[in-house]
Amino acid sequence: MIDLLKKLTQTDGVSGDEGDIRAVIEKEIKKYCDEISTDAMGNLIAHKKGNGKRVMLAAHMDEIGIIVTFIDDLGFIRFGAVGGLDVKDLVGRRVRFKDGTIGVIGSEDEEFSKKADINKLYIDIGISDTKKIPVQIGDRAAFVGDYTENKTSIISKALDNRVGCYILISALKKIKKNKNDLYFVFTAQEEVGLRGAKTSAYSVNPEYAIAVDVTDTGDTPSAPKMAVKMGNGAAIKVMDRSILCDSTVRNLMCEVSKKNKIPYQLEIMTDGGTDAGAIHLTRAGVKTGGISVPSRYIHSPSEMVAKSDVEACVELAINLVDSF
C-alpha cells in the first residue's frame, strides 16, 4: 500500500492536466486488463472482459489546485481556483507547478483580513525579473503536501481521490477470473463538475456502476453530525448532493460486506458529490452506488485516512463486481 499510494499522491494532476498521473496509473495496470484506452476527455478506461453484466467502477484521477490568471511587473502571480478551495486557509500554503517551481501563497494582509477573497491573494516564487519567470498564464499548480504514515493512518495531499485510484488498481490486480464485463475507469475533471464521468459512462454504457471516492467524517471535535467515522470500515453511500443511490445496489453492497465479514458503515453526505452523480444520469439511467473512504481534512494538503478502511474498500470492490 505504502509505495503505490505514495507514488499516486505525490504525482501532481490538477483537473484538466491529468497526463502525469494517468501515465503512472496506466503503467501500473496495463498487464492486468485486456484493453486499455484514453478518451478525448482524458479518462483512462481499462477493460477486463467477461460475458456477464457490464459493470463500471470509477475513481477520479484529478486533484484540486490553482490556475495562473495574471503576472504583475514584480513577478507576483494572481490565480484562480481549480476545484473547491477554502480561500481563508490558503495563506502560507505552498504550490508546485509542472516544471517543479515552488511558490508560496501570500495575501494583501489588510484587505484579506477584512474579507477572504481569492482576488486578494498572490503566489510568490521568489523571482522578480518577469523575463526569468518559468510560469505563464494558464499554467496549473498543485498544493504541496508530503506523504506520511504510521501504523494505522495515512496523511497526504490528494488522497481525494488517489486513494480511490489505489482501490481500483488493487482490485484490478487481485481479480483473476471474472464473470461480469468489467470497466475500471480513472476519470478526469471530477473536481470541476464530474465531467469525465459523464463522457466515460456514456461510452461504456454500463448496467451497474460504482463510484469510489472519499467522504467526510463526523468524528472530530465540533464536526457536523455525521454517522461516518474513520476506522469503522468502508462507507457505503446512501446519498449525497448529486445522487440518491439505487437501493438494490446499496443493499447488495451491504449483503456482500456481511457475507465476507468486511467492516462497513452507511454514508449520507449532505454537502458535495462524486462521479456517481454524473454516471447515474447517463443515457436512460444507470443503477449506481458508491464506496467511500472516510477522510478527515478533505481538500487540504493533509488529508487523512485509516489503512483499515482502505483495505476494507478494496475487499468490498473485489467481492462486489461479480455479485450483480
- Active-site positions read 190
CA distance 153 to 155: 7
CA distances 25 to 13, 97, 164, 317, 319, Å, are 12, 20, 12, 18, 22
Residue 188's region, left for phi above 0, alpha for psi from -120 to 50, else beta, is: beta
How far, in Å, CA of 247 to CA of 139, rounded? 43
Report residue 156 as a C-alpha cell. Answer: 497526504
Backbone φ and ψ of 35, nearest 5° = -140, 150
* Paired residues of 96 in beta bridges: 102, 142
Distance CA 108, CA 152 (A): 40
Instruction: Tell me how far the alpha carbon of residue 303 is from its chain's centroid.
Output: 11
Grid cell locating 270: 449532505
Rounded CA separation 188/198 (Å): 10
Helices (H) and strands (E) in the chain, counts: 8, 18
Kindly provide the residue ranges of all beta strands, DSSP E only, lying in the chain, ordered along the sequence.
35-38, 44-48, 54-60, 65-71, 77-82, 94-97, 102-107, 121-124, 140-143, 148-149, 153-156, 181-187, 208-215, 234-240, 243-244, 264-268, 287-294, 303-306
